Structure 1
Amino acid sequence: MPTRRGFLTSLLAASTLPALSWADAGSPAYLGAAKGASGRFSLIGLGADASRRFAVPLPGRGHAAAAHPSAPEAVAFARRPGTFALVIDCAAGHVAHRLEAPEGRHFYGHGAFVAGGTILCTTENDMGSGAGRIGLWSRPDGYRRIGEVATHGIGPHDLLRLSGDVLAVANGGIRTHPDTGREKLNLDTMAPSLSYLTPEGELLDQVTLDPELHKNSIRHLAAAADGTVAFAMQWQGEAMAPVPLLGLHRRGSAPRLLAADDGEQIAMQGYAGSVAISWDGARVGITSPRGGRLHVFGRADGACTILRRPDICGLAPSADGFTATDGMGGVLRVTDRLAPLAADPGTAWDNHLIAIG
């Protein structure tokens, strides 16, 4: 477990770092990993208008990235289960550091910064026990690992920083091991949860699903300004079950699950790929690349707008709704319909679109 002294040391060291900003990398609004026409992979910065501000090569397929809150720096994670993550200097256009998971650990594809951007938190698996861990890395010390804390669950995938440096962690409940690739090792006993932690490891709150939904893996997260967390799920049970794939939660309350009609839920094929809440907090959306669907729900009334697009997955808030990406090179504006912002058939966008700021 990290010590308070470790956090204070990182904060002090941060004062000596150069004060570059995202403007030095072209002021991107979003980060996304993609495969190009050449078959090579990159981390790409996009403006709000979908113009490309930079592209930095990656050695393999990326999954998601953690954007530093002020410096032009991002941590790109390998598709899980992976054992490395790359710190990208987005202004200079090169890899600044390579993070290796400690022996007996692997990354789950997501991370977040806390303590004013001085500490990187990474979701990890303890391969021996299957228990979830959050790795802690000091940016001012060249991303030196300074400790880890428990997530109080199995298979932590996504995590978010909330106000007050509270971490929301999606414990998917699924145990994996790099020796078996992406094989799911405990489906009959899986128990997903949403945990709220301090970076020092104190469990503040935890939400679990009803027993009949214990195979609904909590995977990805988004947060509103009022502290509401949206969680997207992936069903691991029988294929055609019309289960809800979206939940909303605020600490101290019960979760609220949202769903479209049964036919639409079945069309999602049990798979929500990304989730986002609009900047004004009024709408929340989930995508399904398998179902070619984007469901946008009103938070107040739960009314669902259904939009269709093959292989749509990446989703992030924008000034007038959302921005989405797909596996065919499309970048889309989402209001009550889909409108193209950019199209590059040679590009296959990966699962997530990360908003900066």
Structure 2
Amino acid sequence: MNRRAFLLLATAGTFGSALGVNTLMQQANATESRKGVLTMPATTLYSASDNPAGGHFLTRLDLANGQMQSRAVPMRGHAVLPLTHGRVLLFGRRPALECAVVDWQKEISGIPATAGRHFNGHGCLSAAGDVLFTSENAYDEKRGVLGIRDSKTFQHLGEYDTCGLDPHDVQLMPDGKTLVIANGGIEQHPDFGRRKLNLDTMQPSLVYIDAASGKKIDEYRLPDHHLSIRHLIATADGNVGVALQYEGDLYRQQPASLVAWQDKGGDLQLLDISPADVALFNGYMADLAYDPRQQILAVSSPRGNHTSFWSTRERRFLHAHPLPEPSGVSFLADQQQFLVSDATGGIHTFASTYQPASASLLHHYPDTLWDNHVVLS
């Protein structure tokens, strides 16, 4: 299906088809889960994982009884997206030429990248749930794109330009009409693996586009072009939190901050932190989750071996707690706790509070190396 046919479907109502109340509620809960906020009691955790021998898996964990099930996948995974009918989509870690669709009762199937593209680790669904958007790199053309696919058959329908290089995370905003994209700004090519080819000239950006047409709505940049915009969280109020990774020389200077926040309709602003505190994170932030009641943002730093907590109300860093390579983060609204995985197999919880609080170990699996993201359902 070409782009014109895709746009005709969108105009005809593919993105906004009428849904029953129960379906809408299920999709709302699933959307909140993908954003790192779970409003219903969590029962199951999904995450990419590795084992000490280097095997790659999609893992699901029953949080109540600790029972775990893993399925081997052909590539290292990154973000996870639950689909309908018990299927789970595992996005390949950049630069990936495939993603994996896991049905726990059937064979694993793959989604190949289109010619001249590779996957960049993330994706999201349209408001109606029928269209899948995937962050991709058009490497020979040196531009970022969102792949557009049917969410049931994964047929490729077209693509949008992300108006920047290296799109990584992408989220659907709560209006159901707007996509927010983290353009990391880094040029890459599969011939060079994960090598970064343009650090001197990189230009990260936070871009909003119309989900039905691909038209750019707005674009934001930070003063320091070495702060790569990597991961996002979009709140129910339309605010956006950003986790950053510093591509400058840490031996010469520390970045001003590694977390940014944007109130709906406002500017993208770095959250305040002292030079001594920002040095804890070794220039690298990964996953993030949000407590809307306390207005606290939790962000993991696997390279800094700390989980950090930030006040979006006061626009500042609060405190950090050491963990061995903390990875995925989600918020358990019913318990007022953040859940954090780590690279040694630990699953921890932290109370959501302005005061420092120690981690509580919930489960531990010594042979499981959790990857950067967790999804709860």
The alignment's TM-score, normalised by the length of structure 2, stands at 0.84
Secondary structure of 1:252's counterpart equals coil
Secondary structure of residue in 2 paired with 1:5: helix
Partner residue in 2 for 1:34: 49
Q: Distance in 2 between matches of 1:76 and 1:57?
A: 11
Over residues 250-282 of structure 1, what are the superposed CA-to-partner deviations in whole Å (9 max), with x where a residue is unaligned?
A: 342111211432112112110012122125361
Matched with 1:221 is: 232
The corresponding residue for 1:345 is 366
User: Does the alignment pair 1:232 with 2:243?
Assistant: yes
Equivalent residue pairs, number: 342
User: Quick one: which amino acid aligns to residue 193 of structure 1?
Assistant: S
- Residues 178-219 of structure 1 show CA distances to partners (whole Å, capped at 9, x for unaligned) of 000001011111110011112220212211111xx1010000
Call closer, same or farther: CA 1:203–1:49 in 2, change over 3 Å. Answer: farther
In structure 2, C-alpha distance between the alignment counterparts of 1:50 and 1:347, rounded to whole Å? 17
Aligned-pair CA distance for 1:164: 2.5
Q: Contact 1:170–1:220 at 8 Å: present in 2 too?
A: yes
Per-residue deviation at 1:102?
Answer: 1.0
Q: 1:143 to 1:311 in 2, by over 3 A?
A: same
CA distances 1:85-135 after superposition (whole Å, capped 9, x unpaired): 112224x2542x421111111110111111321111000111122111000
CA offset digits 1:229-251 (Å, max 9, x no partner): 10101000011433211001134
| Residue of 330, 334, 337 corresponding to 2:346 | 330
Amino acid at match of 2:231: H
Structure 2 unaligned spans of 5+: 28-41, 352-356
Query: Is the contact made by 1:50 and 1:331 (CA closer than 8 Å) also made in structure 2?
Result: no
Contact 2:272 2:317 in 1 (8 A): no
Other structure's SS at 2:285 match:
coil
| Distance in structure 2 (CA, Å) of the matches to 1:137 and 1:40 | 28
Mapping 1:211-290, distance limit 5 Å: 213-240=224-251, 241-243=253-255, 244-278=257-291, 280=293, 282-290=295-303
Q: What is the CA-CA distance between 1:299 and the residue it aligns to? A: 1.7
**Residues 303 and 173 of structure 1: is their aligned pair in 2 closer, same or farther, counting only changes over 3 Å?**
closer
Paired with 1:13 and 1:59, the residues of 2 have a C-alpha distance of: 35
Alignment check: 8 A CA contact 2:17 2:128 kept: no
Q: Which moves more between the two structures, 307-316 or 168-177?
A: 307-316
The one-letter code sitting in structure 1 at the alignment partner of 2:70 is: A
Q: Compared with structure 1, are the counterparts of its residues 48 and 278 closer, same or farther at alpha carbon in structure 2 (3 Å cutoff)? A: farther
- Find 2:198's aligned residue among 181, 186, 192: 186
Are 2:165 and 1:154 aligned? yes
1:6 corresponds to: 9
- 1:321 paired with 2:337, answer yes
The letter for the 2-side match of 1:61 is R
* Aligned counterpart, 2:98: 84
Task: Look up the match of 2:115.
Answer: 103
Distance 2:18 2:119 in 1: 25
What is the CA–CA distance in structure 1 between the aligned matches of 2:15 and 2:144, rounded to whole Å?
Answer: 26
For 2:326 and 2:230, the matched residues in 1 are separated by 17
State yes or no: 1:177 paired with 2:189. Answer: yes
Q: Which moved more, 1:292-301 or 1:41-50?
A: 41-50
Which stretch of the first structure deviates more once superposed, 340-349 or 156-165?
A: 156-165
- Cα 1:9/1:223, change in 2 over 3 Å: closer
Cα RMSD after superposing both structures: 2.5
CA distance in 2, matches of 1:233, 1:50: 35
Question: In 2, distance between residues paired with 1:191 and 1:318?
Answer: 35
Q: Which has the higher contact order (CA 8 A, sep 6+)?
A: 2
Percent identity over paired residues: 30
Cα shift at 1:288:
1.0
Cα displacement (A) at 1:50: 7.5
Equivalent pair of 1:31/1:354 in contact (CA under 8 Å): yes
| 2:78 pairs with 1:63 | yes
Using structure 1 for the length normalisation, give the TM-score. Answer: 0.88
SS of match in other structure, 1:307? strand
Aligned to 1:75: 89
Do the aligned residues in 2 keep the contact of 1:50 with 1:342 (CA within 8 Å)?
Answer: no
